[in-house]
Structure 1
């Protein structure tokens, strides 16, 4: 989906990460909660072992796990909750990007959370590719501060105290990369910019704003409330030599098929077996020392994952998109003189 943003808001199961006789590190962390600012918050809802995820093999022999929300009765059949309130997460029938069901995370006025959710990945995972469509609600605004940030997605997390909450990763205690929407270089009512926030050995809360002039920003995309975007993310952990972390960990983002962020000097871990990539998934967390100025909602659809590999081909439009009722259509498209839209497209966008 390149050029014009969409205006729609509207197999074998992978092996379980535990056995009867063995509890992995991520399960222990889940049972006790994940350390975060404000204390330790336990998980809510039933344990998720990736039931019903459709895993397909593409032409490049890569296994693509497609999380089609239409196939699930409850959101916590897909993801598990580490922080926030389960009442802030729900399946909705409108708006959707495609199909009948999207995921909504809401943040109440005066609150930080939202929710932080996770999809469990294979143990010892060193490389992850993901795709998801997301949209901010049409009246999304971030008033009250010169710069305000709101987390939208947990791209890759090595679970542990070093993955969040201001703690310091030491190469053994967790790490993370998360995507945010931000008012840096933008107005409080949008369009907004993006922020990559990484907890790694050399710097917890390492902020890379995707704005002009930033070292790792390939482009400075604008995020318009009420429009769907396709995020593709790629994370590869760093090499380890004789117990020492090498500065070659990689994070890349694409938005609607265009590379927007590219950094390859991270040191995430010193232990590739127990401090690798544990989870990925949607999140909503506003600020840190400041709270949401109004009720906010973000929507997600069409989440796909490739473990230890990358996707083939460019993002594609859905076969049967569902128009929105809650998300506004764009105001118009400026065309060169003498060029008119075809009748079918004029009718579609109103």
Structure 2
């Protein structure tokens, strides 16, 4: 009984004391600025032949009234990524806005993506030195035509140094339907969006698929060198920028991930790649995370079904009710809500595997690189 009451208390705190993280709300459209500032977009790309064309077309197809430039950083691709990017740009109304550069060799102490972004920022300084904003996006994200204008309007009207959107992830396969909405739910629980945009809160987060950062803010923190070794680059950038400027994170309407996760293994690898990094490679933090996940997500159904303890039933019901708004956001059926403990168990196992990979010096693997710091 005591354990079930503790689990119920956890869910009471989450529902009423965690800034309403479980609600799905979007702000009203921001007013258009009197002057549309110059923007330069940066896409780091490493072997992205299957998606880079759509990403480039999305950026250069923006209905943005101001000057817009795009830098694609070809990070030693072997699949023709650069040529596909150029061909895609030629089909848009802004073919001259594209610049493709090759990244230099990855220096020691830098993560691959952050180094490519730094290379792109250096090129952006040459191409568009007067650009007020840098739009950081990924090679597997397709943006609708009004995304950039909405981002800039928000940044200008609210005087934000960083405005980010969490792209809508693909949710078509069975595994995507089981895991993807929960991924966004867990992220929002860890980084409540209301606290991210609150200047009085220390919570800082962003989503790497769509980040509009002011050039002044990037200069203030020393550019990407400030986060050069970070694997979770988006949240690290937000944490650097927020102490000196306002930031914001919302769910996207029209920025869509093109990356498929049709098999459980690809979703497992997505989690395991950075979960232990999020815990700062700490065994104590890992133990705390395991205990917290078990108490929050696994204790309620086990006690409710096995011992029929009423507080456990209430905790399980609170969990399902909290999850429903995210399921509706991803257009998934309500009956997936009571199955959240199954997904939580999947995440828990992948997190433990993330620590195992780190111990085996295989952490942070992506596109042929192992980028997590070497354990002592």
Which one has more relative contact order, counting CA pairs under 8 Å at least 6 apart?
1
Looking at secondary structure, tell me which structure has more strand per residue.
1
Looking at secondary structure, tell me which structure has more helix per residue.
2
TM-score normalised by L of structure 1: 0.28
Indicate the structure (1 or 2) with the bigger Cα radius of gyration. Answer: 2
TM-score normalised by L of structure 2: 0.27
